[in-house]
Amino acid sequence: MKALIFNGALERRQESTSGKLSQYVSEQLSQVGIANTIFNLADSGIPLFDLSLNRVPNAVKIMNNLFLEADIHFWLSPLYHGSIPGVMKNCLDWLEISAQNKPAYLTDKHIGLVCWADGVQALQGINAMDAIAKSLRAWTLPFSVPMMKSTLFEADNPNVISSVYKCKLDLMIEIATKKNRA
C-alpha cells in the first residue's frame, strides 16, 4: 500500500503548520508500515492549468504519477477566503490529463481530508475538497479533520500538535488504512 500526503499550502518552511501536519501524518503512516510520499505543492513547479499546451509539463507528469500510484491520499489545506487555495485547485485540475486512463482520474482512491482555519470555518475547505475528490471519482473517508488554528498546537509548546488533533488525525489514518492491515 502506498499513501500520498498532498500538502496544498504554499508554505515552504518545515516548521509551518502544513509542514508539521504533513510530517505527523507521514510519521504515523510509517509507524504502521505504510510507504508514503509528501507532495509539497510549494515545491512542485506546477504551472497554471492550460490544456492548450503542446506538451504536458514534466512537473505535471510527475504529480499525476504520484497521485495515480498512491492507494490512499491525505489532502491537507489551509482555508483561504472560504475555500482551499487556488493553487491547490489548479494542481488538482491538472489531473485532467488522466481523463483517458482506464480507470480515469482518481477512480476508487480513498482520500482523507484535513483543513485548518483561523476561525471555525475549516469545514468549508473540507467541503470544497470533498466535491473535488468526488468529481475525480474518488471516495472521501467518512471522517475528516477540520481544525481551528488557535487550538491546533499545545498551548505550552506551539511546535507540538495538540493531543485533541493528534487523536483525530490518528483516527482518520486508522480508518484509511484499516482494511489493508487486517
pLDDT band at 11 (very low <50, low <70, confident <90, very high): confident
Cell output for 164? 485533541
Q: How far apart are CA 142 and CA 99, in angstroms?
A: 26
pLDDT tens profile 80-114: 999 999 999 999 999 999 999 999 999 999 999 99
pLDDT at 181 over 50: no
Cell output for 34? 505504510
Q: What is the pTM of this model?
A: 0.95
Strand segments, DSSP code E, in the chain are 2-7, 35-40, 72-78, 110-117, 139-140, 145-148, 153-154, 157-161
* The pLDDT value given to residue 93: 98
pLDDT band at 13 (very low <50, low <70, confident <90, very high): confident
* The pLDDT value given to residue 36: 98
Q: Are 120 and 82 in contact (CB under 8 A)?
A: no
Q: How far apart are CA 79 and CA 150, in angstroms?
A: 14
* The pLDDT value given to residue 180: 52
Contacts of 135 (CB under 8 A, 6+ apart): none
pLDDT tens profile 42-55: 999 999 999 999 99
* The pLDDT value given to residue 8: 95
Cβ count within 10 A of residue 167: 12
